[in-house]
Amino acid sequence: MSGDGVPEAAGQGTAPGTAPAPGAGGAGVGEGAPRRSVGSRIVGRLGSGAVQVVLVLLALFWLVPTLGLFIASLRSPQDNAAAGWWTALASPSQITLENYANLLDNEAFTGSFWNTILITVPATVIIVVIAALAAYAFAWLEFPGRDWLFLGVVGLLVVPLQVALVPIAQIYGALGIFGNIVSVVLFHVGFGLPFAIFLLRNFFAAIPRDLLEAARMDGGKEFTIFRRVILPLGGPAIASLAIFQFLWVWNDLLVALVFADQTSQPMTRALQSEMRQFGANIDVISAGAFLSMIVPLIVFFAFQRYFVQGVMAGAVK
Amino acid sequence: MATTGDPADAPERGAGAAGAAATGGSGRLGPPSWLAAVFLLPALVFLGAYMVYPIVFSVYRSLWDADGLVFVGLGNYAAMFASESTFIALRNNVVWLVVAPTLVTVVGLLFAVLTERIRWSTAFKIVVFMPMAISFLASGVIFRLVYEQDPDRGMANAVITSVRDTVAPAASYPDARPRPESPLAEADGGGLALGEPASAGDTVLLPLVGVPNDTLPDGTEKAAEPEAKDGAVTGTVWLDFTRGGGGTEGDLDGAETGLPAMEVQAVRDGEVAATTTTRADGTFTLDGVGGGAYEIRLSARNFTEPYNGVTWLGPALITPSIIGAYLWVWAGFAMVLIAAGLAAIPREALEAARVDGGTEWQVFRRVTVPLLSPVLLVVFVTLMIYVLKIFDLVFIIAPGSVQSDANVLALEMWRVSFGGANDQGLGSALAVFLLLLVIPAMIFQIRRFRQENS
């Protein structure tokens, strides 16, 4: 698994000696470095200026659509219907917080915001706890069939969740929990586990054996070792997993669409139901979509390194 | 960080050690194996209930009809290929699978190479990676706004129409028409033609009405009298309407405005012999006409509606449009993984190839890409898995009226089972079919994992 070395490339190159190539850490260094990579040759050929201009344009291409949504959310439905969001740059008087004020007065929407939190937080916590226990067993306990069982988990990583929609809906119907928040949370736990176990097991397995043996020699109980040795050492991996899982559940639409009802629906589903009248509901949709993005964006910028690590670990390895 | 950094940095060695522990005899110190069951139990319960059982049940359920009462064998699978909506979904999934992973991988490679030596590469990577953090719903809403048809509202069409207007300004007069007693009349192939033929040296007048003043192009001037010229037909196209009344119909009265950028053609026997466009004052000169009489025509192009941009969300382009949004979301993922691979390429290999006299392109093709191929494969396969299951983006971006044209398997599966049709037999068949499609990826993954841990 080179996955754990990847965040280096996300620009946070801090840990030295992680990547095989020492030049990797120097990616941000300017001229004069000994490494002559493909990139540097192309830069030399086309002129650094041209590449920089292209990259600025590309960065704008990535930023401007989001900016467009943000500005649209600050304009009245009439303004949005009359002209594009960019006209607000010339006439800032169009800017108003009315859409947000209306949205926060809308109990259906604020309810869905709380539902999102009530679904996301427990789902994340449960996944981390269950996966950490299982990952510890896969990494450091011995039992018959361990390797085969773990290969099974690896195989389950790619199972499309569509497979479970009909069967689980039937079980939920029989149990009478169809539509409530618990049913949504449990589904996320089920489908989050293979990846969570996979990520943590690979990390735990890399903890130096001596550390564990020493703790066992000292007569530590297995659960104490798990709590006192593994969990603290596994901090970064657990953080990656928690952040990745948090955003995954926060952003989900499909599971909510099938299993949540009107009273337990998260923001994504509440907004989706407005999409049918996109033009007419642009005030609710734009402001709501932006509100639903704020938490993920904060999490992303605050814990960028961990999130990238989590996403990268999700790549087929 | 130092202590926690180490295990993360050498996971392969650690995994190897764990593997050795399984087979080796050093388990004496280890706890009894029933303890493992305690640690594993919650996970196994969930995996069993939410993954293993549903797979088995879905296969079983797919053999029964909509209500689950009648055994239909493989009937649902047959229906899947026979039904038109599922067929469109299948076809679109193939398009997605062929186009999207390749496109995203290539763009990711390009970005990784371009940013390799740029000072602000971190900022660039953060910006491009950002869409991975937000929901497909939010990305979908963002692109619904980008793709709005009206160039006054949709950014994509605003950019396209303004570029087009700058490059090739085309005036258009959709409402222009001749007066009833005007010499102009509907031409055979569309557009308007003069009743009287003209030949070289003649001047012609082409009066039109019905053009609102505020739609006239910028820089329009007062209509001028045409000047006769040898070997050419000259004339004026103008708005035959004097503000506040007065003036003579069909005559240039001095105060009337020319109609610029009109396409004028000289036609004989159905062949266009000469084409020109009118100047700011409405005058034109059709050079290069030989002897004989020509029909003078204002081509149909002058009277079409103005160019309104691309119909991104129409039935024809909806899938490419959504793939564009998908690229926006996933390019950062490919870029970051590939950049990590790029950083790990030993520079000796590149230098050696250059010393041997390889051009930069050859070094890239023959050395860099082959050395990167394991990473590129991982990116590609991961993208394929996600593309197969694509749901939210299609569901959100495609307006209701074209959703059937944008359909994909995952969306069809939801639609059939829950979104109205309520045929969970067919829905289960679709889910099992999706599962079958990811099995090659599953095998790929297990094999890779075993290789790396052996």
Same-domain pairing of B298 and B365? no
Residue B350 has pLDDT above 60, yes or no: yes
Give tens-digit pLDDT for A243-282: 989 999 999 999 999 999 888 999 999 999 888 888 788 8
CATH of the domain at B382: 1.10.3720.10
Q: In chain B, how many domains are there?
A: 2
Mutate to test the interface with A, among B56, B137, B333 (most CBs of A within 10 A): B137
Give burial (CB, 10 Å; 0-12/13-18/19+) of B24.
Answer: exposed
Alpha-carbon distance of A268 to B331, in angstroms, equals 23
Residue A241 has pLDDT above 80, yes or no: yes
Residue B189 has pLDDT above 90, yes or no: no
Lowest mean per-residue pLDDT among A36-50, A176-190, B227-241: A36-50
Q: What is the ipTM of this complex?
A: 0.82
Note whether residue B366 is domain-resident: yes
Amino acid occupying residue B147: Y
Q: What is the mean pLDDT of residues A170-181?
A: 89
Which of the four pLDDT bands, split at 50, 70 and 90, describes residue B30? low
Q: Using the beta-carbon criterion (under 8 Å), do A58 and B124 form an inter-chain contact? A: yes
Q: Are B415 and A254 in contact (CB under 8 A)?
A: no
Domain boundaries, chain A: 36-96, 104-313
Q: What is the mean pLDDT of residues B159-183?
A: 77
Same-domain pairing of B447 and B316? yes
Same-domain pairing of B144 and B200? no
Q: Are B410 and B434 in contact (CB under 8 A)?
A: yes
> Across chain A, where does the E strand assignment appear?
none
Same-domain pairing of B344 and B366? yes
Note whether residue B426 is domain-resident: yes
B383 close to A (CB below 8 A): no
What local confidence, expressed as pLDDT, does residue A12 receive?
35
Q: What is the mean pLDDT of residues B15-40?
A: 57
Same-domain pairing of B231 and B137? no
Give burial (CB, 10 Å; 0-12/13-18/19+) of B27.
Answer: middle
Note whether residue B90 is domain-resident: yes
Give tens-digit pLDDT for B429-448: 999 999 999 899 888 888 88
Q: How many helices, marked H, and strands, marked E, lie in chain A? A: 17, 0
Q: Phi then psi for B233, rounded to 5 degrees? A: -95, 125
Residue A56 vs residue A207, higher pLDDT? A56
Residue B25 vs residue A285, higher pLDDT? A285
Q: Which residues of B touch A103 (CB under 8 A)?
A: none
Which of the four pLDDT bands, split at 50, 70 and 90, describes residue B307? confident
What local confidence, expressed as pLDDT, does residue A116 receive?
95
Q: What is the mean pLDDT of residues B92-112?
A: 93
Q: What is the mean pLDDT of residues A202-213?
A: 82
Alpha-carbon distance of A234 to A155, in angstroms, equals 24
How many angstroms away from the CA of A94 is the closest CA of chain B?
15
Note whether residue B81 is domain-resident: yes
Note whether residue B233 is domain-resident: yes
What local confidence, expressed as pLDDT, does residue A39 receive?
61
Of B272, B303, B334, which residue is a domain's last? B303
Same-domain pairing of B296 and B193? yes
Q: Are A287 and A73 in contact (CB under 8 A)?
A: yes
B9 close to A (CB below 8 A): yes
Note whether residue B34 is domain-resident: no
Note whether residue B22 is domain-resident: no
Same-domain pairing of B291 and B407? no
Among A103, A107, A149, CA closest to A294: A103
Note whether residue B196 is domain-resident: yes
Out of A1, A24, A85, name the one closest to residue B344 (CB). Answer: A24
Same-domain pairing of B317 and B237? no
Residue A192 has pLDDT above 80, yes or no: yes
Q: Which domain holds residue B434?
A: 60-153+312-452
Element (H, E) at A170: helix A162-175
Residue A216 vs residue B95, higher pLDDT? B95
Residue A25 has pLDDT above 60, yes or no: no
Residue A296 vs residue B251, higher pLDDT? A296
Of B259, B280, B303, which residue is a domain's last? B303
Q: Using the beta-carbon criterion (under 8 Å), do B6 and A208 form an inter-chain contact? A: yes
Q: Which residue of B has its CA nearest to A281?
A: B141
Of B285, B303, B321, which residue is a domain's last? B303
Residue B421 has pLDDT above 50, yes or no: yes
Same-domain pairing of B325 and B361? yes
Q: What is the mean pLDDT of residues B141-153?
A: 87
Which of the four pLDDT bands, split at 50, 70 and 90, describes residue A191? very high
Residue A157 has pLDDT above 90, yes or no: no
Same-domain pairing of B431 and B393? yes
Same-domain pairing of B447 and B356? yes
DSSP string, B8-48: HH-HHHHHHHHHHHHHSSGGGGSPPHHHHHHHHHHHHHHHI
Global pTM reads 0.78
User: Which fold is adopted by the domain A104-313?
Assistant: MetI-like fold (1.10.3720)
